Amino acid sequence: MADEKRRIQDLTDLPGVGPSTAQKLIEAGFTSIEAVAVATPQEISAATGISLPAAVKIVKAAREALDIRFKTARELKEERLKVRKITTGSKNLDELLGGGVETRTITEFYGEYGSGKTQICHQLSVNVQLPEDKGGLAAKAVYIDTEGTFRWERIEQMARGVGLDPDEVMENIYWIRAINSHHQMAIVDELFDLVKKDNIKLIVVDSVTSHFRAEFPGRENLAMRQQLLNRHLHQLMRLAEIYNVAVVITNQVMARPDVFYGDPTQAVGGHVLGHAPGVRVYLKKSRGNRRIARVVDAPHLPEGETVFAITEWGIRDPE
Ligand code: GTP
Ligand code: MG
C-alpha cells in the first residue's frame, strides 16, 4: 500500500497527471515515469482508456522529466568510457565478447536446452562480485528467474571456485521468481528504484521469453507478444543505460535439423533482440562439457566462434 502511494506520488510529479490518471496508469502496468517514457501514446491510451491527446502529453512530460534529449559526441564518448566488463570465467569467451559482458548493454545468450545459458547467468552473478582486478565490478546481482532453474547450491560451488565466501556471495544476489509475463515486466519497473539505491551492476532475466511464448502462443498472438517483449526490452535497455549495469537475458531456441549445413545461428525462434542494440551470443552443445559460443551480427566484435566448458567449479576454458 505504502508502495502504491509512493508510485502515485512519482507519476503525479508529471504535469497533467492527477491521482486518478496515475491510478489508471499503474493499473495498466505503467508504474513509473520510466515506464511511461518508453511507452507509445497509443499503447497507453489503449491500455488505460486515457484519450490519445492526453496520452501524448503524458509521454512527452515523462520524457522531459527523464531528460531524454540530444547528446554531444563528446558526451557519447564519455558514456562509452564508463562501460565496464564482467568476466565470464572463460578467457576464450571473454575474448569473444571483447573482454567480458559489458555494462550499459543487453547481452542475449540463446541456444537449445542444456547449451549453458543458465550456467553462464549463475557464473556472472558470482563474478560481478569479484574485485575489478579479478574481472568483476565488486557489485551485486539481480536474478529474475522465470523457469525456476536458479540453484543456490550452484552459486555456492561457483563462489568457492573463484575463492569468494559462499555465504557473502549468496547474500549479494537478489533472486525473484517471475510468475507470468506481466509480473516479469512489473519487476523490471520496480528495479529502477532498487538499482538506484543499491550497488547492483548485473541484472539477469533467465529466460526472457518463456512466459511470453506460453501466454501468447501461435501466429495470431505474435504481434501482441512482440509488442510486449519490445516494451520489456526497452525497459531493460533504459536500466542498463541510466545506471550503467549489465543486462543479461536468455532465450531458448531449437536447433534446426533441416538446415544441417546452413547457418546454425538461424535457429527456430531466433534471437529476441532483433535490431535492438545489444550483443547476441549463440550457444551450442559440443562434446561432453564443452560448449561453442558465437557472436551474431556484432560489427564491433571479431567474427568467429570459441569453445568454453561447464566444469564442477563453473564456466572455464576447456582443458
Ligand atoms: P535450458 O534452460 O533448458 O534451455 O538450458 P540452458 O541453456 O539454460 O542449460 P544450462 O545452463 O542449465 O546447462 C545445463 C548443463 O550444465 C548441464 O547439461 C550440465 O552439463 C551442466 N551443469 C549444470 N549444473 C551443473 C553442475 O552443478 N555441475 C556441473 N559440472 N555441470 C553442471
Ligand atoms: Mg536454462
Provide the CATH number for the domain around residue 129: 3.40.50.300
User: What average pLDDT does range 31-37 have in this prediction?
Assistant: 84
Same domain for 60 and 83? no
Q: How many domains does the chain fold into? A: 2
Q: Which of 122, 154, 310 has most ligand 1 atoms within 8 Å of its beta carbon, as the pocket-test mutant?
A: 310
By the 8 A CB rule, do 122 and 173 touch?
no
Ligand 1 neighbour 251 (Cβ under 6 A): no
pLDDT at 260 over 80: no
CB 161 less than 6 A from any atom of ligand 1: no
Domain boundary among the residues 65, 88, 103 is at 65
Helices (H), the chain: 2-12, 19-27, 33-37, 41-48, 52-65, 73-81, 91-96, 117-127, 152-161, 166-171, 181-197, 210-215, 222-243
Question: What pLDDT is recorded for position 297?
Answer: 76
* Residue 152 is assigned to a structural domain of this protein: yes
Please report the pLDDT score of residue 101 as a whole number: 97
Give a yes or no: residue 73 inside a domain: no
Are 144 and 9 within one domain?
A: no
Category of 29 on φ-ψ map: left (φ > 0), alpha (ψ -120 to 50) or beta: left
Same domain? For 179 and 113 the reply is yes
Same domain, 189 and 274: yes
CA of 319 to the centre of ligand 2 (A): 24
What's the mean pLDDT in 232-252?
92
Same domain, 198 and 254: yes
Q: Residue by residue, what is the 3-state secondary structure of 18-59?
A: CHHHHHHHHHCCCCCHHHHHCCCHHHHHHHHCCCHHHHHHHH
Torsion of CA 54, 59, 61, 64, to 10 degrees: -160
**Residue 96: which domain range?**
79-316
Q: Which residues lie near ion ligand 2 (Cβ < 5 Å)? A: 117-118, 149
Residue 68 has pLDDT above 50, yes or no: yes
Give the chain's mean pLDDT.
89
Q: What is the CATH number of the domain that holds 7?
A: 1.10.150.20
What value does the mean pLDDT take over residues 140-165? 98
Tell me how far the alpha carbon of residue 152 lies from the centroid of ligand 2, in angstroms: 14
* 173-177 and 140-145 strand pairing: parallel
How far is Cα 150 from Cα 235, in angstroms, rounded to an integer? Answer: 23
Average pLDDT over residues 188-195: 90
Q: Any residues with CB less than 8 A from the CB of 247 and at least 6 apart, and which? A: 105, 106, 107, 202, 203, 204, 205, 236, 237, 239, 240
Domain assignment of residue 173, yes or no: yes
Domain-embedded: residue 56: yes
> Does the pLDDT of residue 252 top 70, yes or no?
yes
pLDDT attached to residue 49: 93
- Of residues 5 and 136, more confidence is placed in 136
Same domain, 86 and 27: no
Does residue 70 sit within a domain?
Answer: no
The residue ranking higher by pLDDT, 138 or 9, is 138
Instruction: Calculate how far, in angstroms, residue 112's C-alpha sits from the geometric centre of ligand 2.
Output: 9
Which of 90, 118, 254, when mutated, tests ligand 1's pocket best, judged by the most ligand atoms within 8 Å of its CB?
118
Q: Whose CA is nearest to atom 18 of ligand 1?
A: 114
| Shared-domain flag, residues 181 and 152 | yes
Max mean pLDDT range (72-76, 198-202, 272-276): 198-202
Same domain? 164 vs 89? yes
- On whether both 89 and 34 belong to a single domain, the answer is no
| Share of residues in the chain with pLDDT > 70 (%) | 91
Do 251 and 147 sit in the same domain of this protein? yes
Overall average pLDDT of the 146-152 stretch = 97
Ligand 1 in reach of 209 Cβ (< 6 A): no
Integer Cα distance of 97 and 266 in angstroms: 20
Whether 178 and 245 share a structural domain: yes
Confidence category of residue 275, pLDDT binned at 50, 70, 90: low
Residue 74 within a domain: no
Which pLDDT belongs to residue 226? 84
Same domain, 28 and 166: no
Instruction: State in Å: Cα 106 to ligand 1 middle.
Output: 22
Residue 61 lies in a domain: yes
The set of cell numbers assigned to 211 is 512466459
